[in-house]
Amino acid sequence: MIARLVVATFAVLALVAPSSAAAPTERATAPGAQVIGEGTATSCTSAAVVRAVRRGGVIRFDCGPEPVTIVMQQTAEVLNTSDRVVIDGGGLVTLSGGGVRRILRQDTCDETLIWTTDHCDDQATPRLVIKRMTFIDGFVASPDLEDGSGGAISVRGGRLRIVSSHFVDNRCTPTGPDVGGAAVRVTNQYADRPVVVRGSTFTGGVCSNGGALSSIGVSWNIVDSVFTGNRAIGRGANPAKDGTPGGGSGGAIYTDGDTFHLRLTGTKVVRNRANEGGGAIIFVSNDRTGTLSVESSVLKRNPSLGFENYPGIFFLGRGKPTFTGSTVR
């Protein structure tokens, strides 16, 4: 175990999470864009969100000038006939799972959401963009990998991009070797392109693995984002040790698979925790082709209670992780 690795310390220590107090939401001006609401908080409902997501396209909100929380009574699901779904909350809209349900789902291989290709695990659409939104209190609990992962958002296939958004106090299945992603779970992206996360925050997520993010065989490009207070609470790692339910790795980020890449740039990962490996990040490339790079970032105070081979990180991949202009300790 490497007790301390400090490459450099620099201004990212002062990195500030993007503000949730953005400009008031405006009515959509793009042709064909949908607007949820009629200028009041009460006009912005769960049913309206579900309908809009099924229709697809650009979705905006007109819920009045103050921040609004919409408690979802049903999980919003993207139909695979959609080319693009952009959900833009303008910095004022929070979607809540109420502590009882997942908030948003995309699955190109789910027949009930309409099959559109003969290669559902590698198709270019739908392209899902989450922009200036907050997701809180999402929840799933199941031993099934799909049903038990992704407390706020679950995505399989197509593309995903998250911009200037916030994820707070989401939950997923508390034990198991492969379930994960209290905030976001992703499996399969078109042509192995990375999920892009930019200017977003992940706080207070709890799951067996991946207190914030989890994926299998998926690359990530995470830029100018913040991960704090997320926890991986399973026990027994993966594969599960005898007599344990498994899990407990990747306090903030859990990544597994063969060839995939994880890149953090200008990102802060602080005070996350794993019962097993990788208080900040667990990265396991089974065929040792995957790469991890940390650039202009700060990773510190991320205890791994079981194992790590870099501070807060357990890495198995090609060569060694690269740390450039970063503090890792």
pLDDT in tens, 301-325: 999 999 999 999 999 999 999 999 9
> How sure is the predictor about 1, in pLDDT bands with cuts at 50, 70 and 90?
very low
pLDDT in tens, 90-144: 999 999 999 999 999 999 999 999 999 999 999 999 999 999 999 999 999 998 9
> How sure is the predictor about 33, in pLDDT bands with cuts at 50, 70 and 90?
confident
Q: Considering the entire predicted model, what is its pTM?
A: 0.91
Q: How is the chain split into domains, by residue range?
A: 32-328
73 pLDDT exceeds 90? Answer: yes
Residues 185-196 as b or e (16 or more Cβ within 10 Å = b):
bbbbbbeeebbb
| Cis amide linkage into residue 126, ω under 30° from 0 | yes
pLDDT in tens, 2-30: 333 433 333 333 344 444 333 333 343 45
Torsion of CA 105, 108, 112, 116, to 10 degrees: 140
Whether the CB-CB separation of 296 and 264 falls below 8 Å is answered with no
Mean pLDDT of the chain: 92
pLDDT in tens, 186-237: 999 999 999 999 999 999 999 999 999 999 999 999 999 999 999 999 999 9
